[in-house]
């Protein structure tokens, strides 16, 4: 049975445009840029710090609550950090509104206005206090539940028990094509009565940038981001938040003999993992969630189901990919290219950071070989190459961006790209996706990432990145270690800026927490 579905790229884009009244006449008449905001928290200076979390939005596990543990580790840093970046997957397994109270509001209550009474806060009425959380969409924030799965999961007690409805967190609503995320975090102008729209715009879109008026983000007062992708400047650093869910479609499989063979291999892989899925579901029915001896087994099996869903969706994207241009969000990519060029031409900017969900570089075992990873890497590389070509020698001694932040891979990792032959060379990348959901292992191939490039002389296997730090799952059974993490990044004054990343890890091992000390690293 298909438990999880995902809307097409075109549907995601259109639905989000409707929610923000994209380029409505009242907006364009005021010269408002719907992709920019000003973070007005009174702390903007060249020396500042921020935190990064990702892949957090899951329930408590029997005996321990990883997401809450990470939040507690973050609390001592609130006063020194200006904001928190969230790299996506705010809510698991599907971004349903019914899970926001337990899986987001409760664990991060100290970051939310009125959080001492967190049970009274509606998911669409969140206001952050002095250290706001600025998110991007993850794939789970876009996932939906097909009608048949909802009926099966929710219709009778027997079937609910069979499919472990509560354990796999499949809700009645799903994300509604990203709507729950939008209602929780985005300024949904579509919710506002037309007669009140002008007043809302004149109240909250008062900040000014080089691109016109934009939204003023005021912690404790009004904390809504303007769009699914957006930019803001802080301490002389331009931050670019992207929605990678709309440009991760794999390239089409060619209509060749090799392409036909690849389709057969993918179809066989899909058949094999569906058989594995059926076996897992059968194993689940033999276990009792009320039996403490079965709890860990159930958790492991449900984690496998989540991984299988990811693989199935990746295979489906490969098999259904075509040459149609509407499968890729070119509008967002063109926006990024334009804004990066503008950023390089501004004397006020001394650095650039981009953050989004799907990592272009990662050594977590389940992600490097996914077609979506390659697709995101290629799309980003095309943008960077175009920016570099426009800039010419202006950025010859520096990479296009200083730092790339991602989630999706359930680990904490620091990588640096090598000379890739493209403009994504020599960039520091941090994957912060270990903040709540089950950590995953590093791939067996090791720390060097090698990519295949097509050349006139054939295939060139070229090293494109090195991994310098990896914190993920290791060990099995009673020796299993589960590290959960966030990273603090300190930005220093100067041009170019210097960065210090400070990893914070708590490990769940043999039914107790231990803090793991990892050395800070500079770049």
β-sheet bridge partners, residue 53: 86
Q: What is the pLDDT of residue 356?
A: 98
CA atoms within 13 A on the CB side of 283: 16
Kindly report the backbone phi and psi dihedral angles of residue 335, in degrees, each rounded to the nearest multiple of 5, phi listed first. -60, -45
Q: How many CB atoms lie within 10 A of CB 255?
A: 8
Q: SS3 of 144, please?
A: strand
Query: How does pLDDT run along the chain (523 residues), one tens digit per residue?
Result: 566 888 999 999 999 999 999 999 999 999 999 999 999 998 889 999 999 999 999 988 888 999 999 999 999 999 999 999 999 999 998 899 999 999 999 999 999 999 999 999 999 999 999 999 999 999 999 999 875 554 444 433 333 444 444 445 666 678 999 999 999 999 999 999 999 999 999 999 999 999 999 999 999 999 999 999 999 999 999 999 999 999 999 877 777 887 777 788 888 888 888 888 778 877 877 787 667 677 677 777 777 777 787 788 888 878 877 656 558 999 999 999 999 999 999 999 999 999 999 999 999 998 988 899 999 999 999 999 999 999 997 777 899 999 999 999 999 999 999 999 999 999 999 999 999 999 999 999 989 999 988 878 878 899 999 999 999 999 987 888 999 999 999 999 999 999 999 999 999 999 999 999 999 999 9
Tokens of 468: 């310098």
Tokens of 8: 């097409």
Tokens of 18: 């409707």
Element (H, E) at 374: helix 371-391
**Distances from the Cα of 164 to the Cα of 1, 149, 239, 330, angstroms:** 14, 12, 41, 40
Burial label for 512, CB within 10 Å (0-12, 13-18, 19+), is exposed
Tokens of 33: 């840029």
Strands (E), 300-420: 351-355, 403-406, 412-417
Q: How far apart are CA 363 and CA 305, in angstroms?
A: 21
Q: What is the pLDDT of residue 406?
A: 98
Of the candidates 443, 405, 485, 441, the one whose C-alpha atom is nearest the C-alpha of residue 88 is 405
Q: How many CB atoms lie within 10 A of CB 251?
A: 16
Q: What is the pLDDT of residue 153?
A: 45
In b/e form, how buried is each residue of 132-159, taking b as 16+ CB within 10 angstroms?
bbbbbbbbbbbbbbeeebbebbeeeeee
Longest Cα–Cα distance of the chain, Å, equals 67
Q: How far apart are CA 39 and CA 274, in angstroms?
A: 46
Q: What is the pLDDT of residue 266?
A: 80
Q: How far apart are CA 329 and CA 325, in angstroms?
A: 8
Q: What is the pLDDT of residue 168?
A: 54
Q: What is the pLDDT of residue 322?
A: 65
Burial label for 79, CB within 10 Å (0-12, 13-18, 19+), is exposed
Q: What is the pLDDT of residue 478?
A: 81
Q: How far apart are CA 298 and CA 281, in angstroms?
A: 10
β-sheet bridge partners, residue 451: 462
Any long-range contacts for 367-376 (C-beta under 8 Å, 24+ apart)?
367/408, 367/409, 368/443, 368/449, 370/310, 370/314, 371/250, 371/314, 371/317, 371/318, 372/248, 372/249, 372/250, 372/314, 372/317, 374/250, 375/247, 375/248, 375/249, 375/250, 375/251, 376/244, 376/247, 376/248
Contact 342, 240 (CB under 8 A): no
Q: What is the pLDDT of residue 152?
A: 47
Contacts of 277 (CB under 8 A, 6+ apart): 305, 308
Q: How far apart are CA 268 and CA 320, in angstroms?
A: 15
CA angle 499, 84, 314 (to 5 degrees): 95
Q: What is the pLDDT of residue 519?
A: 96
């Amino acid at each position: 049975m298909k438990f999880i579905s995902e809307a097409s790229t075109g549907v995601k884009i259109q639905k989000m445009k409707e929610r923000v009244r994209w380029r409505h006449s009242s907006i364009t008449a005021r010269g408002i840029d719907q992709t920019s905001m000003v973070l007005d928290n009174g702390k903007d200076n060249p020396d500042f710090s921020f935190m990064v979390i990702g892949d957090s939005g899951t329930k408590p596990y029997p005996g321990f609550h990883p997401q809450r543990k990470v939040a507690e580790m973050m609390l001592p840093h609130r006063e020194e950090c200006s904001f928190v970046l969230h790299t996506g997957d705010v809510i698991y397994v599907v971004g349903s509104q019914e899970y926001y109270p337990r899986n987001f509001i409760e664990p991060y209550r100290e970051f939310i206005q009125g959080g001492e009474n967190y049970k009274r806060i509606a998911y669409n009425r969140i206001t952050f206090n002095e250290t706001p959380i600025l998110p991007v969409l993850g794939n789970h924030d876009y996932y939906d539940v097909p009608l048949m799965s909802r009926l099966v999961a929710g219709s009778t007690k027997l079937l609910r028990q069979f499919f472990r409805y509560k354990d796999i967190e499949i809700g009645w609503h799903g994300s509604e094509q990203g709507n729950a995320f939008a209602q929780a975090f985005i300024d949904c102008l579509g919710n506002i009565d037309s007669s009140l729209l002008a007043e809302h715009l004149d109240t909250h879109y008062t900040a000014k940038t080089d691109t016109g008026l934009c939204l003023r983000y005021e912690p404790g007062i009004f904390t809504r981001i303007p769009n699914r992708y957006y930019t803001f400047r802080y301490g002389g650093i331009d931050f670019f938040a992207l929605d990678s869910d709309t440009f991760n479609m794999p390239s089409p499989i060619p209509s060749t003999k090799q392409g036909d063979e690849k389709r057969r291999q993918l179809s066989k892989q899909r058949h094999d993992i569906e058989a594995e899925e059926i076996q897992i579901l059968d194993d689940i029915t033999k276990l009792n969630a009320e039996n403490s001896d079965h709890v860990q087994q159930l958790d492991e099996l449900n984690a496998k189901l989540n991984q299988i869903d990811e693989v199935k969706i990746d295979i489906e994207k490969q098999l259904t990919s075509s040459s149609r241009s509407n499968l890729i969000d070119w509008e967002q990519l063109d926006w990024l290219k334009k804004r990066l060029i503008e950023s390089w031409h501004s004397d006020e900017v001394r650095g650039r950071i981009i953050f989004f969900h799907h990592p272009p570089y990662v050594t977590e075992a389940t992600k490097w070989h996914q077609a979506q990873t390659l697709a995101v890497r290629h799309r980003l590389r095309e943008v960077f190459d175009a920016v570099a070509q426009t800039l010419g020698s202006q950025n010859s001694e520096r990479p296009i961006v200083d730092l790339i932040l991602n989630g999706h891979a359930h680990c904490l990792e620091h990588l640096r790209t090598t000379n890739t032959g493209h403009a994504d060379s020599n960039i520091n990348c941090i994957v912060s996706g270990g903040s709540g959901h089950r950590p995953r292992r590093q791939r067996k191939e090791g720390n060097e990432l090698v990519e295949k490039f097509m050349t006139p002389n054939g295939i060139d296997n070229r090293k494109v990145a090195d991994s310098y730090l990896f914190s993920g799952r290791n060990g099995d059974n009673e020796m299993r270690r589960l590290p959960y993490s966030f990273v603090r990044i300190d930005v220093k004054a100067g041009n170019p800026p210097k960065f210090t990343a400070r990893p914070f890890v708590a490990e769940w091992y043999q039914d107790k927490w231990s803090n793991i000390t990892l050395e800070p690293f500079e770049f």
